[in-house]
RNA sequence: CGGGGCGUGGCGCAGCUCGGUAGCGCGCCUGCUUUGGGAGCAGGAGGUCCCGGGUUCAAAUCCCGGCGCCCCGACCA
């Protein structure tokens, strides 16, 4: 059985609880309650940024590193990332992709080969100029993304249309020198997945771009319970070097948008820059058409900001490193033996059914303290097992999202799995409801500005397509066009006029202030 | 880079105006009693007061100069 290091004696295997109607943790000393100051959480409504940081610290997801802008991902945070990786990796494999690994260091000259690309990334790169005690002949950049090195290699590997498509993915770290950083959301170094594909036709490459956008969306909804809007970005917002960028945009609890995943149709831009040509069936030479796409550890930040509350993290069951915490309760040694025996049986049954369970049998820690700890860490379900429960062949099942009820031991696996599934569904439904509650359609210029200066949210409005209008709105409201929404998200009737200039609307756009 | 805040045991802070033994809460260690929503008592460990100069008999405290971190804004996944 898996155990956790206890702060007192015992081992820990855990379970969460409903965040009952008890008040949130209070300041030390108040109400006779005490808690470690480092675990104190600023109320979300008081200061969202502080709340976000506090949740991360409380749940032990990450910590600051000695280097500005960098973060340490702690085991509990990394476990969430690993679950994300597992789900996404399986989806990539199902759609025919293979993993590979390209190096961290890229010749500086490579970046310069694609004009927009270098313009976009040069200011953000870290450059290595010395190695082995000597000045390097050509500086090496720490990859801010890997298009350049990958196309340099593809031009070696691809000769014929028979070599296409190439469907690659890599899990890697990258470095982008950011002015301002935030845990998970924007750090100097971050972990991500970058897919790179090369195709014989433009159509096929764009189909691939959209396929992956759909994969991302499905992952965000089904695993993260975070429902994004999807659609293309405007020219101003697209990836440096792409022909078109598509994105998933999710709405956080402070009503700011988070770009959660992007998928780019690159046309032949990189193929031309790196001379990645192939021979067609009829003997001609053509450049490959390509796509690239990525999601990063930023998703962990999105997960936190989508669901969590003033008690701490709320983690959707499918991505919860610990789905169930079992907390035994006893008074005497005799009770302890019986209760532990029952708790271990429950834990074993759940584990055998594929549930991630922790049994928290740490000695000398009161049950209430354990509840708070697991709640802070976002564990979706807690099972409490005390002498009374043993006698009645039951356990108390408490949900992180609220509610506590007895469950018969005989049906524990079904009850727990049912609860996990319900919590997963409820979180998605709640997030979708919140998104719609904070979306306004057919906004006027005044409404848009008012919304952005106030409550925030997604503002749907008409857009003539001109960069001037896009810039005008941004200057007036600090909101950017997050996406030109895909059909299923569009308004009916479609907006008739541009929010900014009042001319005929060619498109519908969704504005929001964004991370 | 601009604006704000902050650097004192692991964490959160007080002390600084008015220089003179470095304190409090939580956490940690030991023991006993506890355990159905953050346990109690007793004992104990733990600090280059961010760094460097200066003033002074004496600096966490006063002066000068650095550095670092966090938050807010301009750039970005």
ipTM value, please give it. 0.89
Judge whether residue A177 has pLDDT over 90: no
Judge whether residue A7 has pLDDT over 80: no
Task: Decide: A255 and A245 in contact? Cβ < 8 Å.
Answer: no
Q: Which fold has domain A317-434?
A: Rossmann fold (3.40.50)
DSSP A160-175: BGGG--EEEEEEEEEE
| β partners of residue A97 | none
A417 C-beta less than 7 Å away from strand B? no
Judge whether residue A19 has pLDDT over 60: no
Taking the C1' atom of every nucleotide in all shown strands and the CA of A31, the nearest one is B38
Contacts (Cβ under 8 Å, ≥6 apart) of A92: A99, A169, A193, A195, A215
Nearest to A511 by CA among A232, A253, A227, A257: A257
Q: Mind listing the pLDDT tens digit for each residue in A392-411?
A: 999 999 999 999 999 999 99
Domain boundaries, chain A: 39-78, 82-103+144-305, 317-434, 439-512
Q: Mind listing the pLDDT tens digit for each residue in A210-235?
A: 999 999 999 999 999 999 999 999 99
Judge whether residue A165 has pLDDT over 90: yes
Judge whether residue A5 has pLDDT over 60: no
Say which residue the tokens 């992007």 belong to.
A262
Taking the C1' atom of every nucleotide in all shown strands and the CA of A18, the nearest one is B37
Structure letter (DSSP) for residue A186: B
Give the 3-state secondary structure of A339-377: HHHHHHHHHHHHHHCCCCEEECCCCCCCHHHHHHHHHHC
Q: How far apart are CA A104 and CA A98, in angstroms?
A: 19
- For residue A317, name the pLDDT band (cuts at 50, 70, 90): very high
Helix (H) or strand (E) holding A176: none
pLDDT (average), residues A498-502 = 95
Query: What pLDDT is recorded for position A6?
Result: 28
Give the closest residue to B28 (Cα–C1′).
A7
Q: How far apart are CA A474 and CA A463, in angstroms?
A: 13
Q: How far apart are CA A339 and CA A390, in angstroms?
A: 6
The second-level CATH assignment, the architecture, of A82-103+144-305 is: 2-Layer Sandwich (3.30)
Per DSSP, the three-state class of A508 is strand
Q: What is the separation of C-alpha A489 from the centre of its chain, rounded to a whole number of angstroms?
A: 21
Query: What pLDDT is recorded for position A39?
Result: 62
Give the closest residue to B38 (Cα–C1′).
A369
CA A159, C1' B74: Å apart? 46
Per DSSP, the three-state class of A287 is strand
* Cβ-based contacts (< 7 Å) between A 275-304 and strand B: 294, 296-298
Q: How far apart are CA A249 and CA A312, in angstroms?
A: 24
pLDDT (average), residues A174-187 = 89
Q: How far apart are CA A309 and CA A41, in angstroms?
A: 9
Top-confidence residue, A419 or A38: A419
- For residue A70, name the pLDDT band (cuts at 50, 70, 90): confident
Give the closest residue to B73 (Cα–C1′).
A180
User: Could you count the other beta carbons within 10 Å of the beta carbon of residue A235?
Assistant: 11
- For residue A15, name the pLDDT band (cuts at 50, 70, 90): very low
Which nucleotides on chain B have any atom < 7 A from a protein Cβ? 1, 10-12, 25-29, 33-40, 68-77
Top-confidence residue, A419 or A112: A419
Per DSSP, the three-state class of A285 is strand
DSSP A230-247: EEEPPGGGS-TT-SEEEE
Judge whether residue A36 has pLDDT over 90: no
- For residue A11, name the pLDDT band (cuts at 50, 70, 90): very low
Indicate the range of A10-19, A44-53, A138-147 predicted with least confidence: A10-19
> CATH for A439-512, among 3.30.1220.10, 3.30.2090.10, 3.30.110.30, 3.40.50.970?
3.30.110.30
Task: Decide: A94 and A75 in contact? Cβ < 8 Å.
Answer: no
Taking the C1' atom of every nucleotide in all shown strands and the CA of A19, the nearest one is B37
* Cβ-based contacts (< 7 Å) between A 380-409 and strand B: 384-390, 396, 398, 404
CA A37, C1' B44: Å apart? 22
Q: How far apart are CA A312 and CA A54, in angstroms?
A: 8
Judge whether residue A62 has pLDDT over 50: yes
Judge whether residue A27 has pLDDT over 50: no
Q: How far apart are CA A383 and CA A398, in angstroms?
A: 6
Q: How far apart are CA A422 and CA A318, in angstroms?
A: 11
Instruction: Report residue A95 as tokens.
Output: 């759609």
Q: Mind listing the pLDDT tens digit for each residue in A475-489?
A: 888 899 999 999 999
Instruction: Report residue A331 as tokens.
Output: 């008074």
pLDDT (average), residues A329-347 = 94
Mean residue pLDDT of chain A comes to 90
pLDDT (average), residues A178-198 = 92
Task: Decide: A10 and A1 in contact? Cβ < 8 Å.
Answer: no
Q: How many residues does chain A have?
A: 515
| β partners of residue A461 | A509
Query: What pLDDT is recorded for position A21?
Result: 26
Crossing angle between the packed helical segments A412-437 and A333-352, to the nearest 10 degrees: 70
Q: How far apart are CA A200 and CA A209, in angstroms?
A: 14
DSSP A44-105: TTT-HHHHHHHHHHHTT-EEE-SSTT-EEEPHHHHHHHHHHHHHHHHHHHHTT-EE----SE
- For residue A106, name the pLDDT band (cuts at 50, 70, 90): very high
């Amino acid at each position: 059985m898996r155990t956790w290091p206890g702060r007192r004696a015992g081992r820990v295997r855990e379970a969460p609880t409903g965040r009952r109607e008890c008040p949130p943790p209070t300041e030390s000393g108040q109400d006779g309650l005490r808690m470690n100051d480092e675990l104190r959480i600023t109320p979300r409504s008081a200061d969202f940024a502080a709340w976000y940081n506090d949740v991360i610290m409380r749940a032990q997801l990450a910590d600051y590193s000695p280097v500005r802008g960098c973060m340490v991902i702690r085991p509990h945070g990394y476990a969430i990332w690993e679950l994300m990786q597992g789900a996404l990796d399986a989806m990539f494999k199902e759609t025919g992709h293979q993993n590979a690994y390209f190096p961290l260091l890229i010749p500086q000259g490579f970046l310069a080969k694609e004009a927009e690309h270098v313009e976009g990334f040069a200011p953000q790169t870290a450059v290595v100029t010395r190695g082995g005690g000597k000045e390097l002949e050509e500086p090496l950049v720490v990859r801010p993304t890997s298009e350049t090195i990958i196309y340099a290699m593809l031009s070696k590997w691809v000769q014929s249309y028979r070599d296409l498509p190439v469907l690659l993915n890599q899990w890697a770290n990258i470095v982008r020198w950011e002015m301002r950083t935030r845990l998970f959301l924007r750090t100097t170094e971050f972990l991500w997945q970058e897919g790179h594909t090369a195709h014989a036709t433009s159509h096929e490459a764009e189909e691939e771009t959209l396929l992956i956008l759909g994969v991302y969306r499905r992952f965000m909804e089904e695993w993260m319970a975070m429902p994004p809007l999807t659609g293309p970005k405007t020219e101003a917002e697209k990836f440096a070097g792409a022909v078109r960028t598509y994105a998933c945009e999710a709405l956080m609890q402070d009503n700011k948008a988070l770009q959660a995943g992007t998928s780019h149709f690159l046309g032949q831009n990189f193929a031309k820059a790196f001379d990645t040509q192939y021979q067609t069936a009829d003997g001609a030479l053509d450049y490959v058409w390509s796509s690239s796409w990525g999601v990063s550890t930023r998703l962990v930040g999105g997960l936190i900001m989508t669901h969590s509350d003033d008690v701490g993290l709320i983690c959707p069951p499918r991505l919860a490193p610990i789905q169930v915490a079992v907390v035994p309760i006893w008074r005497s040694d005799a009770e302890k033996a019986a209760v532990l025996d029952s708790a271990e049986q429950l834990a074993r049954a759940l584990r055998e059914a594929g549930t991630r369970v922790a049994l928290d049998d740490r000695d000398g820690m009161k049950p209430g303290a354990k509840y708070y700890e697991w709640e802070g860490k976002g564990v979706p379900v807690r099972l409490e097992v005390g002498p009374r429960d043993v006698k009645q062949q039951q356990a108390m099942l408490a949900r992180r999202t609220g509610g506590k009820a007895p469950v018969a031991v005989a049906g524990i696996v079904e009850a727990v799995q049912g609860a996990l599934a319900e919590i997963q569904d409820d979180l998605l439904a709640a997030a979708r409801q919140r998104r719609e509650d904070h979306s306004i359609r057919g906004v006027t210029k005044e409404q848009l500005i008012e919304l952005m200066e106030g409550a925030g949210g997604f503002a749907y409005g008409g857009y003539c397509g001109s960069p001037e209008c896009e810039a005008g709105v941004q200057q007036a409201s600090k909101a950017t066009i997050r996406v030109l929404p895909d059909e299923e998200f569009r308004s009916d009737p479609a907006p008739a006029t541009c929010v900014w200039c009042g001319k005929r609307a060619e498109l519908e756009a969704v504005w929001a202030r964004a991370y």
